[in-house]
């Protein structure tokens, strides 16, 4: 205990928090007692080291913030997510994906078609056949998916009256309603570079939207649907949690890593996010590009977070922004926007299937270019 | 050599102001990136090297004997050039036949100083990792995030600030022990 008092005294001495009297007393003590002097010298040196480390850490954080801002602005070339970049954002630059999917499908269909004709003609080539079988199974799903997409695309373009001029989107992510009049929360990194934004519900209805709030520091954005065809909801099924969630809470999410809504579930694994970031949680859940901006909901039907990113080198290490940040954001725009968050959810106690049925109408695909 | 604007910039840098950092990035990043891309590097190499050079500049700006005898631009370029040469040699991607840039200003001392400080920093980080929880979070909350003792007591569930303080000192003593054990072994 005496040691602690002494260390405390030395620390206050170093920080200049002592009264003159105290200081003189400590200096006397050091002068008359070499052991204490030695301890003081050592401890001050150590505290200095600790302070230096803290400063460097802060400075590195600032560097990272500035860097990611400039990467988003295009001043710094985006790297291929190697080495330093340990986080991947979960929104989907789908143009490239679709191109890849298309080329895979093309190659595979030529390949399998060739193989089929070869196989049906002569059943001799036994070394190759099982290989093809295997591959065929593997790519079958992809092919089907692609064909389905093609069919959908064909249907859409066959209809002469498209509901509205669509924009050619080059990314896809997720967002969800926080107000019945059409305010949607998503990630800032999703919409940062977008010129045009649309949101799409699970039926495929598209609405124009524009950001009313963007914060790169919390990575939150709020969009407002400004489209006459949007009908206000009567109520939202979930509420937005203001206090912190608990470790180990079962959670689930809905999102658009694909063209249709996808469900995933997991648990809250830590109360802080990437490298101790206290504005987010670490959760364990399976997500893919496109899940960014999706709600993280607990079993009581409260939104506790917003999916934002995952760690590249580790499986299932996903980060979600704490829902509290939505409240903070609203405080900032309270003058210009009238947003009323849902006060109580209506899905508490329902089984999961019914919870999802109610929620999925409120989860939107966020697209744009 | 050094004008008023640069002086302000460096003061901002020493105070860890995002605005100053951003200005320095905007004015210098392009040159460094094209230098590194031209010399066998990737964009992410440029980011790493530039960050490290910024830390060198920061350490210089906060040091007592701070004095910059040339423009920030020249200084950063020289530091980056040296750091990149060293990295190339480590990666064995260096081809001595290629002459990369010219020697600009002497920066040996600064780099040595930086290396020493970097070692100390890593040592502290390692010691922090070794003391375990809740010590690590507690010390980080106090010394890194500069939280107050009542806040910490509340967050970590101590009954009052004095209890938290006692715990903090116990943790600090442990951290010091681990730190000096490594420090005296020459890191």
Distance, in Å, from the CA atom of A55 to the CA atom of A57, rounded to the nearest integer, reads 5
- Identify the pLDDT of residue B147: 85
Q: Which residue of A has its CA nearest to B116?
A: A49
Q: What is the mean pLDDT of residues A87-102?
A: 59
Q: Which class for A179: exposed (0-12), middle (13-18), buried (19 or more C-beta within 10 A)?
A: buried
Q: Which residue of B has its CA nearest to A53?
A: B121
Give the closest residue to A252 by CA, choosing from A202, A302, A177, A184: A302
Q: Which residue of B has its CA nearest to A66?
A: B22
Disruptive mutation site among B14, B15, B25 for chain A (greatest number of A CBs within 10 Å):
B25
Q: At what angle are helices B161-184 and A2-14 packed, to 10 degrees?
A: 80
Distance, in Å, from the CA atom of A331 to the CA atom of A328, rounded to the nearest integer, reads 5
Q: Which residue of B has its CA nearest to A271?
A: B155
Q: Encoding tokens for residue A61?
A: 């954080």
Distance, in Å, from the CA atom of B36 to the CA atom of B55, rounded to the nearest integer, reads 18
Please check whether residue B155 touches A, CB under 8 A: no
Handedness of CA A89, A95, A96, A99 (dihedral sign): positive
Q: What is the mean pLDDT of residues A277-284?
A: 90
Nearest Cβ partner for A63 among B21, B144, B173? B21
CA angle B163, B167, B172 (to 5 degrees): 145
What digits encode the pLDDT tens for the residues A61-73?
A: 888 888 888 887 7
- Identify the pLDDT of residue A82: 41
Whether the ω angle into residue B28 lies within 30 degrees of 0, i.e. cis, is: no
Distance, in Å, from the CA atom of B149 to the CA atom of B163, rounded to the nearest integer, reads 9
- Identify the pLDDT of residue B53: 93
CA–CA min distance B95, chain A (Å): 23
pLDDT grade, residue A29 (50/70/90)?
Answer: confident
Cβ–Cβ pairs < 8 A, chains A and B: 101
Contact of A368 with A166, CB cutoff 8 Å: no
Chain A hits for B15, CB-CB cut-off 8 Å, are none
- Identify the pLDDT of residue A129: 26
What digits encode the pLDDT tens for the residues A186-225?
A: 998 888 878 888 899 988 888 989 999 988 888 899 999 9
Contact of A190 with A309, CB cutoff 8 Å: no
Tens of pLDDT, residue by residue, chain B (187 residues): 456 788 888 888 888 888 889 999 988 998 888 888 888 888 888 888 999 999 999 988 888 766 777 888 888 888 898 888 888 887 766 565 455 566 567 778 888 888 888 888 988 888 888 888 788 888 888 888 888 888 888 888 888 888 888 888 889 998 998 888 887 765 4
pLDDT grade, residue A365 (50/70/90)?
Answer: very high
pLDDT grade, residue A98 (50/70/90)?
Answer: low
Q: Which residue of B has its CA nearest to A9?
A: B169
Please check whether residue B55 touches A, CB under 8 A: yes
CA angle A359, A362, A364 (to 5 degrees): 120
- Identify the pLDDT of residue A298: 92
Q: What is the mean pLDDT of residues A45-67?
A: 88
pLDDT greater than 70 at residue A93: no
CA angle A369, A277, B116 (to 5 degrees): 110
Cα torsion A251, A257, A258, A264 to 10°: value is -20
- Identify the pLDDT of residue B3: 67
Q: Encoding tokens for residue A33?
A: 């007692």
- Across the interface, do B42 and A82 touch by the CB < 8 Å criterion? yes
DSSP reduced 3-state for B170: helix
Nearest Cβ partner for B21 among A42, A57, A62? A62
* Global pTM value: 0.48
- Across the interface, do B121 and A56 touch by the CB < 8 Å criterion? yes
What digits encode the pLDDT tens for the residues B76-123?
A: 888 898 888 888 887 766 565 455 566 567 778 888 888 888 888 988
- Identify the pLDDT of residue A158: 42
- Across the interface, do B22 and A70 touch by the CB < 8 Å criterion? yes
> Residue A225 CB: number of other CB atoms within 10 A?
21
Please check whether residue B42 touches A, CB under 8 A: yes
Give the closest residue to A329 by CA, choosing from A242, A244, A260: A242
Nearest Cβ partner for A75 among B29, B120, B173? B29
Please check whether residue B178 touches A, CB under 8 A: no
Q: Which class for B168: exposed (0-12), middle (13-18), buried (19 or more C-beta within 10 A)?
A: buried
């Amino acid at each position: 205990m005496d040691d602690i008092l002494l260390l405390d005294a030395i620390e206050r001495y170093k920080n200049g928090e002592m009264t003159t009297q105290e200081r003189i007393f400590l200096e006397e003590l050091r002068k008359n007692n070499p052991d204490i002097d030695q301890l003081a010298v050592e401890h001050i040196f150590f505290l200095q080291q600790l302070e230096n480390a803290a400063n460097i850490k802060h400075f590195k954080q600032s560097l990272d913030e500035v860097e990611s801002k400039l990467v988003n602005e295009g001043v710094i070339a985006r790297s291929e997510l190697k080495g330093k970049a340990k986080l991947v954002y979960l929104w989907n630059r789908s143009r490239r994906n679709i191109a890849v999917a298309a080329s895979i499908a093309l190659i595979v269909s030529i390949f399998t078609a060739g193989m089929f004709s070869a196989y049906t003609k002569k059943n001799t080539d036994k070394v190759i056949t099982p290989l093809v079988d295997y591959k065929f199974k593997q790519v079958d799903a992809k092919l089907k998916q692609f064909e389905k997409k093609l069919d959908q695309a064909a249907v859409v373009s066959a209809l002469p009256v498209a509901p509205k001029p669509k924009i050619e989107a080059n990314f896809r992510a997720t967002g969800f309603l926080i107000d019945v009049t059409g305010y949607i929360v998503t990630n800032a990194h999703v919409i940062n570079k977008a010129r045009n934004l649309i949101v799409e519900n699970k039926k495929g209805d598209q609405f124009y939207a524009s950001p009313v709030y963007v914060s790169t520091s919390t990575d939150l954005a709020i969009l407002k649907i400004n489209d006459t065809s949007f009908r206000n909801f009567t109520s939202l099924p979930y509420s937005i949690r203001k206090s912190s969630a608990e470790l180990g809470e079962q959670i689930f999410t809905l999102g658009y890593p694909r063209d249709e809504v996808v469900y995933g579930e997991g648990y809250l694994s830590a109360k802080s996010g990437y490298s101790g970031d206290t504005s987010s949680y670490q959760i364990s859940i399976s997500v893919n590009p496109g899940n960014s901006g999706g709600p993280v909901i607990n079993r009581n039907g409260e939104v506790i977070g917003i999916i934002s990113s995952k760690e590249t080198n580790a499986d299932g290490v996903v980060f979600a922004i704490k829902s509290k940040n939505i409240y903070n954001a609203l405080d900032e725009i309270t003058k210009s926007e009238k947003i009323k968050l849902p006060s109580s959810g209506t899905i508490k106690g329902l089984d999961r299937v019914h919870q999802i049925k109610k929620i999925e109408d409120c989860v939107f695909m966020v697209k744009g270019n | 050599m050094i004008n008023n604007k640069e002086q302000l910039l460096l003061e901002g840098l020493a105070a860890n102001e995002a605005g100053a950092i951003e200005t320095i990035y905007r004015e210098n990043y392009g040159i460094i990136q094209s230098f590194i891309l031209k010399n066998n590097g990737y964009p992410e190499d440029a980011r790493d090297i530039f960050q490290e050079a910024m830390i060198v500049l920061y350490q210089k700006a906060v040091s007592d004997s701070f004095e910059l005898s040339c423009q920030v631009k020249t200084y950063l370029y020289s530091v980056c050039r040296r750091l990149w040469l060293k990295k190339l040699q480590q990666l064995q991607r260096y081809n001595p036949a290629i002459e990369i840039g010219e020697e600009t200003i002497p920066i040996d001392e600064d780099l040595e100083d930086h290396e020493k400080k970097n070692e100390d920093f890593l040592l502290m980080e390692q010691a922090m990792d070794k003391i375990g929880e809740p010590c690590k979070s507690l010390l980080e909350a106090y010394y890194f995030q500069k939280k107050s003792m009542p806040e910490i007591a509340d967050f970590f569930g101590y009954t009052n600030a004095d209890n938290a303080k006692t715990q903090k000192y116990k943790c600090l003593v442990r951290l010091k022990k681990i730190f000096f054990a490594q420090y005296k072994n020459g890191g």
